[in-house]
Homo-oligomer: A and B are copies of this chain.
Amino acid sequence: MTSLTQSNRNTRPIGVFDSGLGGLTVLTELRRQLPKENFVYLGDTARTPYGSKGPKTIARYADECIKFLQTKNVKLIVAACNTVSALGDATLNRDKTVPVIGTIESALKEVAKLPDCKKIAVIGTEATIGSKAYEVAFNRAMPDLQVDSLACPLFVPMVEQGILEGRVFEVVADHYLERLRLIRVDALVLACTHYPLLKSALESYLGSEVVIVEPSKSVAELVTKSLEETGLIGAPSGDPTMEYFVTDEVSRFDYLARLFLQNEEVQALRIEDLA
């Protein structure tokens, strides 16, 4: 009986949420590194983007996303949205029923892996950069590291329109990042889950001497650690399941999701309202 109960507990899905599509870059990495786990994804597409909104509004939306995923019996939640993660662990884990993992600690882990990294820049939405959450976390964990941060608010709508390179990208990148080319950083942290789709364009723009850091890579490590600590790591049983929920109409999500999931087709379900 005990082992069956344990197995049932372990096969509960991992919940992943974002304001919209960006979290799919984190989901892809989680599925790659945790192939036996079941997942439930929530994209709050009816209220996207979060990155241009105020902290109280973002906190309310995050609470509602977390509550929705709890109704899906998840064993752990990933806030696959840097704007939400910038609210801080204390806010995200206020209700202690299910652990919520954000993206800040994974950004620290990824940067810590880099040899000879003295100067970095963090790019993200207005809300993420305005919160200074990444700067504070880096300053605390790596006091000798020099950290610059820059908001790039047009990058999200560009990615959502499939503008991933070319002249528009170049000029907008110049608008936000020209200074970075001058001050010469060792690494650029992509503190927005949309930005991995701009990775190769950013590499060309900044040159190969700048390492592009994707925090999503380490999220799966943190999730694995948390599941191991609580004895909830996925039990090997059947094919893993994958469910997608969105708050706006599904057609645009299903279409754009392919851009984020290397052409995998998805069929999302619409939920009318999270509030």
Contact = CB atoms under 8 A, between A and B. Distances in A.
A167 B176 CA distance: 12
A6 interface: no
A35 interface: no
A168 interface: yes
Given A154-B158, A154-B161, A171-B168, A54 B275 contact: no
Contacts of A32: none
Number of this chain's copies in the assembly equals 2
A45 interface: yes
B157 A57 contact: no
A46 interface: yes
A157 B194 CA distance: 16
A179 interface: no
Interface stretch (A10-18, A235-243, A246-254): A246-254
A260 B65 CA distance: 33
Contacts of A29: none
Interface residues of A, number: 30
A168 B172 contact: yes
A53 B46 contact: yes
Given A46-B47, A171-B168, A54 B157 contact: no
Interface string A164-179: 0001100110110000
Contacts of A172: 168, 171
Contact of A57 (B54, B154, B248): B248
Contact of A45 (B48, B53, B158, B175): B53
A192 to B, nearest CB: 14
A54 B167 contact: no
A99 interface: no
A160 interface: yes
B157 A249 contact: no
B154 A248 contact: no
A54 B171 contact: no
A251 B54 contact: yes
A52 interface: yes
Interface of A: 45-48, 52-57, 153-154, 157-158, 160-161, 163, 167-168, 171-172, 174-175, 247-249, 251-252, 273, 275
10 contacts: A45-B53, A54-B249, A54-B252, A57-B248, A153-B157, A154-B161, A168-B175, A171-B171, A273-B275, A275-B275
